[in-house]
Structure 1
Amino acid sequence: MGELLRSFEGGEGIDETSKSEARQAIEDLPEDTFATAIVELASPMAEEEVNSVLGAPGIQSDALYLFLSRRLEGSEKPIYWRSCAIYESECENTAATQLFQRWVSKLHWTDKLNLKNLGLDIDVLRQVAREGRIYGLLAYGYSEKFLAEIIEKPEVRTVKIVATARG
């Protein structure tokens, strides 16, 4: 997973080479396989757009991580968020980006050192929260059929298979 996060390019536009490689990887999956996959978006989108365009199942579930930034300069990964880990059942009825904004709004300047120890910057988190956009997502249990459908959407930059399991 670390290598895939380091190569994350959500929000960087269309890349036909990456899309072609993803199509082949998806095509090679057995029919009864479910995948953990990173879906990189061609451009950042509001959460409602992601729901509408991708029809992504479980966008408000514990089985989904949202990438809320590009891979940041000086960092090996984008900022990601799993709202159910913090807000539990509330995440089912409230947009994940809103819950991220709420969490960031509670950060205080005294949190700077602890955040820095985690490789995070409070000012960057605040900027990402203000933007409120999604650059990609990581989800578990996507079928080969679903992945084959979303890779064809112009809003999707690429799909990267992280792991697979038989259904």
Structure 2
Amino acid sequence: MNLLPQDVLVMLKLAVSPPPEWSYDRLAYQLGMSPSMAHSAVKRATRAALFDPMHKRPRNEALIEFLIHGVKYAFPPDIGATVTGVPTAFVSPEMQDSAPTDLAGEYYVWPYPNGEHRGVSLSPLYRSVPEIARYDAAMHTALGLLDSIRIGREPEQKLAEQLLGEMLG
């Protein structure tokens, strides 16, 4: 059993902005995946002790530990050319005001043809991430913080870890 990137996306959604009375259908729709993919993601997360099936919620302490210490190794990002997309990492909503000023030239985006920003391409955790970020501010923030952990230097990583930990409680 291996965790997949969409498993992290599903756990983040359930931790950050769960749909009221969530169902696999509603969760899948909001994350741009099939209900069977959402169900499989929860099953894998349960086996990895990231999800509590009794309470139908992520185990926040385990999830935070995995996000901070595991995701950058399990799902390393691909950094590419300058493209149009949706801001992430140090220029995502939460990091923009908090990141050190020496990062002003490092503008990362998830490639997205309808994006309004240009920057260095950073592969999203899952293909629907740029679309999700456009309508779900909490997920945009959480995924941007996660990208700051995936590609940042130690000061940015520490700040993103702190902010993500506060966000997930």
| TM-score, normalized by the shorter chain, greater than 0.5 | no
* Bigger CA radius of gyration: 1
Give the strand-richer structure, 1 or 2.
1
Q: Give the TM-score, by structure 1 length.
A: 0.32
Give the helix-richer structure, 1 or 2.
2
